[in-house]
Every structure is written in structure tokens, then in C-alpha cells.
Amino acid sequence: MSTQTNKGITYELALELKQAGFPLPEYPETIIGTRGSEPLKLKGIIQEPTLSELIEACGDEFDLTNCKGRVSSRGCKEPWIAEKWYGTDKPQDIAQGKTREEAVARLWLKLNE
């Protein structure tokens, strides 16, 4: 089961970014309350990146498009598409996502395989 964060990516995708080397702060286990005399602990939390942090990490020659109404030979399976260009007339790397953040995060992962 994936958990959508309030910034547009799932916790699992944030964890995948962190494991691939994206610079995300991680906070240690935290006590968030008690149940009787037992402390309720929240395991380490990963801070999700902002859209601007993701875009900056993908570098120049980058495009983010909403696929709604877009005609494309490669087709849009998700509402957002992030593309990396390298001075050519066609994007070289492409990723899609349900949100802008997810599309750009998946593009960053692709660029950093």
C-alpha cells in the first residue's frame, strides 16, 4: 500500500529517492505520545522534496507538461510528463506521474540510475 504525501509523491517514492542518493533530510525515531505508560514512536521520517528542488536537481533543458489533451506518439499513461532534453529535437529521457512532483522525481531517478 502506498501512502500519498501532501507534496504529491508517495512515501515509497521519497524513500526510493533517498536510497538513490537524492539529498533528503531524515529525522530519527520520534516519540509522538503515549498509550498508557507505553511511548508511541514514529520511525524515521523522510522529508519529501519540493517541486522546485526536484526540478533543480534535473538540471537545464527540462520540460514539465500536463498530458491532458496532448497528442503524442508515445502516449501519456499519467497526467504529468517530465522530459530531459540534450540539445536535440526530441527528449532523451522521459518519465510520467500522477502529480508534477512524481513525474519529476521519476525523471531524476531515471537520470541517476
Give Cα separations from 105 to 16, 48, 55, 94, 113 (angstroms): 9, 10, 8, 11, 12
As a three-state string, the secondary structure of 47-75 is: CCCCHHHHHHHHCCCEEEEECCCCCCCCC
So where are the chain's domains? Answer: 11-111
Residue 73's pLDDT is: 44
This prediction has a pTM of 0.72
| Phi and psi based region of residue 111 (left: phi greater than 0; alpha: psi -120 to 50; beta: remaining) | alpha
As a three-state string, the secondary structure of 69-101 is: CCCCCCCCCCCEEEEECCCCCCCCEEEEECCHH
Q: What is the mean pLDDT of each run of 10 residues along the chain (113 residues)?
A: 58 89 77 73 74 91 77 67 80 86 94 91
Residue 43's pLDDT is: 65
Residue 29's pLDDT is: 67
The CA distance from 100 to 21, in Å, is 20
Residue 21's pLDDT is: 92
Longest CA–CA span in the chain (Å) reads 64
CA distance from start to end of the chain = 24
Residue 109's pLDDT is: 96
Residue 104's pLDDT is: 94
Residue 6's pLDDT is: 46
